[in-house]
Chain A
Amino acid sequence: MVGIVAFGAYIPMTRLPLSLINGRPAADGGPEKAVAFYDEDSVTMAVAAACDCLGSEERSTIDAVMFASTSYALREKQGAVVIAKALDLRGDVETADFGGSLRAGTDALKAAVRAVASGATGRVLVVASDCRMGAPRGALERNLGDAAVAFLVGSEGVVAVLEDSAAVANEMQDLWRTDADDFTHSWEERFVVQEGYVPSMTRAATALLEKSGNGIQDYDRVALYGHDARSHATVVRGLGVVETQVQPTYFGRLGNCGAAFAPLLLCAALEQASAGERILLVGYGDGAEAFSFSVVGDSAAARLGVGGHLERRRPLRSYDSFLRARGLDKKEWQAGTGPGLAATIRLRERDADIGLIGAVCEACGQVHFPRSRVCVKCHVRDRWQPYRLSDKTGQVLAYTFDYFFPTPEPPAIMTVADVDGARVHIQLSDVAPDQVQLDMPVRFTFRKIHEAGGKANYFWKAVPV
């Protein structure tokens, strides 16, 4: 039996209250969207979702990583391989990127299930992550949000089985973005909904029902990609889905998170589902594809998931903060001219920088970060084993609030954390300065540290447990 073994999600805790877009103050409980902050992008969110999904799963059992996004920054150089390094996966792990369509997330999930079912590979980590860019104060901006979701697909300990799927291809120009575009373009809204979203979604779902012999009433949960809240309701009505079946779409809380959206709704459904239930999932983009899942087991849920992440909120103070966080403000100096970090140094330090891998001394047991040649404790040379810190918790021993370091909402918080005896000098994030305390426990999250060279340079940050 092949299917989803584990699942998890990541939603950035930063929220843009939609009223700020038009210069009105944020109201408690008012509509908002989740936004990747200045140190997050589709790759960092993907790693966070993968960590949420994997929990204590043995990393070395993962055979492949599939990464789906429409907002991965580089045209040449893979995202999946960065994610694999950050997760400390095996050196012979297969890696592949999926992109080019809002359907990339469900495409990757389907490909993973088929790959495992064919016997070609064993366990596949699927991560869908999108950081959507609507033009500032434009029509799309209010509707789009950022999030990531991850699934472990395998053949043992399966929680949900993919029973069937049905696709509809629909070549049209509804939403698009070229290389040169910073923001997503959309043709006229009613055209997008009436010729694209509603008929494609409806036809895919209908095709699946016909193919499988199921009626819509056979599904306990119906998770439909939503172009926006209103058109989502149109599809719900058209398919005859009753309210108790509808998987909420989180408009006004999260926003449309692109390639991650349909998979994220599936994740949310699985968080609540119990064995014996059936889930209908329909993803959209250049047509649509419908999937029928049957829930066969209860998940071992230590994860935060969609539900837990939605509860973690940090509303931005101003629209300017949002613009700065997204690099949309004017700057005195053009960023990113020049090659950035030396590729040679980056190669030598990739285990530490991207993997947060330290070393443990075989002679005395002292853990080091970063790895060094001679042990600081017992002075024995070159007797090391790699030691992964990224999945450990640490303790804040020292901190400072740095107002000099450029961040959209100063200060940046710097800390030295003790992790299993190693001392790690690292930024502390996702916490208000007045909540920082000596000896508080922290865990680690993969983040963008800066964009020297015009591309994301990654390291880890500490965040409260």
Chain B
Amino acid sequence: MRDKTAIVGVGCCKFGENWGQSREDMMVEAAYQAYEDAGIDNPQKQIEAVFCGVVYPNFSTGEVADALRFYDRPISHVQNYCATGTDAFRFGAFGVAAGVYDTVLVLGYDKPKDRGVSGPSVAFDRVRGLPATPAGWFSLCAARYFDTFGADRSDLAKIAVKNHHNGTLAPNSMLKREITVDDVLNARMISWPFGLYDCAAQSDGAAAAIITRADKAKDFRDDFVLVKAVAIALGENPQTDPDFDFLRWKPTEYAARQAYEMAGISKPFDEIDVAQVHDCFTLTELLTYEDLGFIEKGAAREHIASGTFELDGELPVNTDGGLKTFGHPTGATGVRMIYENVLQLRGQAGPRQVKGATTALSHNIGGAPQACGITILGTP
């Protein structure tokens, strides 16, 4: 898989409560940005297949075909919890790596803001498992982790403060406001230990990437980005797993092993220059530092204090502000992270540029959580 495919174009619409924009509007905006970025002037001829990541589809694949006027070719929807965008990308990269297609479009999009609720809806289709809110699921490691490693809510708050700062530097982010640790600690509680600022916003958005054969990438642009690895792994349901220790999210550990092997990475902290990780909640980002093997289990607190993962730290994480400031249109998020990593690897990330970045990782985790997706991209 490694180095067989390349990203030659990316696009991302402005994420936010896009009351005035339809799904079609956001899809077209992201896709046409990607065409332009790749120098594609005739997508009808040059795009052979479309892989879409979307969790709330209205009309399934037909809405994509009609928006982009792509007929007489395959269009598929991929769903895999919050790793949906990353999994759509995986299908696209594998299709090209297998030699079936030369050039494909990956499109992640979602529009949760047409539902009339500001948070997730509480589902009443079962009687077990309630409260069925993501905050209630992702907070389940908090008590045990805090108790074992001595961390607390203020460590989580620093992650939100960092991501809010980074978000002010990203043109497409929704929230562009610096916050303080006190803001986070004093916000209204959602699901302990998560207050309002520990939670990702909800937003609409779309992002796109164009994947082609590595040996053809130069036809599109010189500063293409190589796909080093793309991995998906499912883990045991943490709510029923008899061996779970509530100190980690296993799907991340599983997917990381796959991805590092694929990319030939043995010392992730040294070899990865920039990472976009799934900060649906602050604790998710904290656990991910460790679950990805960037640092030892339990060491997050000291690294948060010393700024390891800040923009000017040793391994900047969520350089664009993450889900915290972009919100989380589920299908779009993984592709939005790839967009940011491509900009970082091309040296086009402006004030949030990580100097000399040559290897970039993106990560999503979703469900109970049970599914993790990871991509590793690199400069040629």
B131 near A438 with CB under 8 A, answer no
Which of B73-81, B142-150, B159-167, B266-274 has 4 or more CB atoms under 8 Å from chain A? Answer: B142-150
* Chain A residue, CB-CB nearest to B146: A438
Cα–Cα distance between A414 and B141 once the two chains are bound (Å): 12
A376 within 8 A of B: yes
Query: Of B124, B131, B192, B239, which contacts A416 at CB under 8 A?
Result: B239
A458 within 8 A of B: yes
Query: Of A367, A369, A421, A449, which contacts B127 at CB under 8 A?
Result: A449
Given A352-B128, A438-B144, verify A421-B242 contact (CB < 8 Å). yes
B306 within 8 A of A: no
A400 near B122 with CB under 8 A, answer no
A450 near B242 with CB under 8 A, answer no
Cα–Cα distance between A434 and B293 once the two chains are bound (Å): 34
- Complex contacts, A459 vs chain B, CB 8 Å: 127-128
B129 within 8 A of A: yes
Which of A155-163, A296-304, A401-409 has 4 or more CB atoms under 8 Å from chain B? Answer: A401-409
B66 within 8 A of A: no
Given A341-B125, A341-B127, verify A402-B136 contact (CB < 8 Å). yes
A412 within 8 A of B: yes
Q: How many residues of A contact B (CB 8 A)?
A: 43
B241 to chain A, nearest CB (A): 6
Query: Of A345, A403, A423, A449, which contacts B240 at CB under 8 A?
Result: A423
B239 near A425 with CB under 8 A, answer yes
B127 near A405 with CB under 8 A, answer no
Cα–Cα distance between A401 and B153 once the two chains are bound (Å): 14
- The A-B contact count (CB < 8 A) is 118
Query: Of A349, A352, A406, A423, which contacts B241 at CB under 8 A?
Result: A423
* Chain B residue, CB-CB nearest to A415: B140
- Complex contacts, A399 vs chain B, CB 8 Å: 140, 143
B130 within 8 A of A: yes
A177 within 8 A of B: no
- Complex contacts, B136 vs chain A, CB 8 Å: 400, 402, 404-405, 414
A142 within 8 A of B: no
B70 to chain A, nearest CB (A): 37
Cα–Cα distance between A423 and B130 once the two chains are bound (Å): 15
Cα–Cα distance between A367 and B144 once the two chains are bound (Å): 23
- Complex contacts, B191 vs chain A, CB 8 Å: 400-404, 411, 414
* Chain B residue, CB-CB nearest to A421: B242
Chain A residues 416-464 with CB under 8 Å of chain B are 416, 421-427, 433, 438, 449-450, 452, 457-459
Query: Of A342, A402, A423, A457, which contacts B131 at CB under 8 A?
Result: A402
A274 within 8 A of B: no
B101 within 8 A of A: no
Cα–Cα distance between A458 and B127 once the two chains are bound (Å): 7
**Chain A proximity mask over B227-263: 1 for CB below 8 Å, otherwise 0:** 0000000001011111010100000000000000000
- Complex contacts, B189 vs chain A, CB 8 Å: 401, 403, 411
Query: Of A353, A402, A423, which contacts B244 at CB under 8 A?
Result: A423
Chain B residues 321-357 with CB under 8 Å of chain A are none
- Complex contacts, B61 vs chain A, CB 8 Å: none
Query: Of B124, B143, B238, B244, which contacts A450 at CB under 8 A?
Result: B124
- Complex contacts, A345 vs chain B, CB 8 Å: 125-126
B240 near A376 with CB under 8 A, answer yes
Cα–Cα distance between A405 and B147 once the two chains are bound (Å): 25
A404 near B242 with CB under 8 A, answer no
**Chain B proximity mask over A360-403: 1 for CB below 8 Å, otherwise 0:** 00000011111000001100000000000000000001111111
Query: Of B119, B144, B236, B246, which contacts A376 at CB under 8 A?
Result: B236
A397 near B246 with CB under 8 A, answer yes
B177 within 8 A of A: no
* Chain B residue, CB-CB nearest to A410: B189
- Complex contacts, B139 vs chain A, CB 8 Å: 400
Cα–Cα distance between A340 and B126 once the two chains are bound (Å): 10
B315 within 8 A of A: no
Given A376-B236, A416-B140, verify A405-B131 contact (CB < 8 Å). yes
A14 to chain B, nearest CB (A): 20
- Complex contacts, A425 vs chain B, CB 8 Å: 128-129, 239-240
B94 to chain A, nearest CB (A): 28
- Complex contacts, A403 vs chain B, CB 8 Å: 188-192
Given A341-B127, A422-B242, A425-B129, verify A405-B141 contact (CB < 8 Å). no
A455 to chain B, nearest CB (A): 12
- Complex contacts, A341 vs chain B, CB 8 Å: 124-127
A457 near B127 with CB under 8 A, answer yes
Query: Of A353, A369, A402, A421, which contacts B133 at CB under 8 A?
Result: A402
**Chain B proximity mask over A299-343: 1 for CB below 8 Å, otherwise 0:** 000000000000000000000000000000000000000001110
- Complex contacts, B193 vs chain A, CB 8 Å: 400
B135 within 8 A of A: yes
A339 to chain B, nearest CB (A): 12
B240 near A414 with CB under 8 A, answer no
- Complex contacts, A411 vs chain B, CB 8 Å: 189, 191-192
B170 to chain A, nearest CB (A): 28
A369 to chain B, nearest CB (A): 7
Cα–Cα distance between A450 and B124 once the two chains are bound (Å): 8
Query: Which of A349, A366, A405 has the most chain B CB within a 10 Å cutoff?
Result: A405
* Chain B residue, CB-CB nearest to A453: B124
* Chain B residue, CB-CB nearest to A368: B240
A369 near B240 with CB under 8 A, answer yes
B124 near A405 with CB under 8 A, answer no
Chain B residues 194-226 with CB under 8 Å of chain A are none
**Chain B proximity mask over A70-103: 1 for CB below 8 Å, otherwise 0:** 0000000000000000000000000000000000
> Can you report 30 residue pairs joining A to B where beta carbons are below 8 Å apart?
A341-B125, A341-B127, A345-B125, A349-B128, A366-B242, A367-B242, A376-B240, A397-B246, A398-B143, A400-B191, A401-B189, A402-B133, A402-B135, A402-B136, A403-B190, A404-B122, A405-B131, A405-B133, A411-B191, A411-B192, A412-B130, A414-B131, A414-B140, A414-B191, A416-B140, A422-B242, A423-B241, A425-B129, A450-B124, A450-B130
User: Which 8 residue pairs of A and B lie closest in terms of their CB atoms, listed nearest first?
Assistant: A405-B131, A425-B239, A401-B192, A400-B139, A452-B124, A459-B127, A449-B127, A398-B140
